[in-house]
Every structure is written in C-alpha cells, then in structure tokens.
Amino acid sequence: MPSSDDLHTSDQAESEPKVTATTGKTVLLVDDDIEIIEAARYALEGAGHNVVVARDGNQGLALAERENPDLIILDMMMPKRSGFLVLEKLRRLRSELLPVIMITGNEGSRHKAYAELLGVSDYIRKPFPMERLISSVDKLIGS
C-alpha cells in the first residue's frame, strides 16, 4: 500500500507542466504581427526548432544577446526599433555573422538592396507560404 508521501509525490508530478526537450536549433522570431508570430512559431516548432519570440525591435536585440539564437527571423517594420536598426546594431555587436531572414510587406527594391548590404541571408515578402520560410530556415541552419 502506498504511503501518503508516495501519493503526494505522484499528485505533484502530475500537476507540474511537462517540458519536452527538442534537439532543433534556436530561432529568434522578431515581429509585431500576432498572426505571423503564431503561424511561424507553429511551423518552426513543427519542423523541430526551438522558437523564442520578441514583439518589437528592442526586445529582439535583448533576446538576441541573451538567447544566442542560431538564426533570426526579423520583420522590417516594427514599433520601437525597425528591423534595419536591429540588424545594424547586431552587426556592430557580434563578430560572427548570424543568419538573418528579413520578412516584410514592403515592395521597395531599395529596402531589399539595403537589407542585402547589411548581410541578410534571405529576404521574404509578405504574405508568404510557411513552407517558404521553413525551407529557408532549413537551408541556413539545418533541421
């Protein structure tokens, strides 16, 4: 017969959230659009990646330093600090080039040219199929 300590331990274990470890790479997703965040997170996690989310450029910079992601998916237009300003600062702070996929609803070719000058690995215009994003992530950092 189990003791009261055994019962307490098993009850406690059942009430604690289960954490599943993934072996994928860490992707920092920086975007202010909740629909993009949720769709991309779902697709990336489904592909086996760990996803960290920032809702604006300042939070994105802070998480890039703290989490040391393998890749950043960065929206161009965001509150507080644009994707360009985030990228400029990251390039000054980090000696190694971190792969960056810039996503944007902007159609301007000057913006794409500047993003390429800053060293983005891929430039994806919204709206885009999630398969396109996953393909780019897998090409840049593997699955």
- C-alpha distances (whole Å) from 129 to each of 13, 43, 47, 93, 136 are 40, 10, 15, 32, 11
Residue 17: inside a domain:
no
Q: Is residue 67 part of a domain?
A: yes
User: So what's the pLDDT on residue 143?
Assistant: 61
Domain containing residue 88: 24-141
| Terminal Cα distance for the chain, rounded | 47
19 domain residue, yes or no: no
CATH number at residue 62: 3.40.50.2300
- Over residues 89-138, the pLDDT tens digits come to 998 887 788 999 999 998 889 999 999 999 999 999 999 999 999 999 99
Tell whether 135 is covered by a domain.
Answer: yes
Query: What are 55-77's pLDDT values in tens digits?
Result: 999 999 999 999 999 999 999 99
Q: Say if 71 falls within a structural domain.
A: yes
pLDDT at 18 over 90: no
Q: Do the domain assignments include residue 4?
A: no
- Quote the number of domains for the chain: 1
pLDDT at 14 over 80: no
Residue 18 in any domain: the answer is: no
pTM for this prediction: 0.82
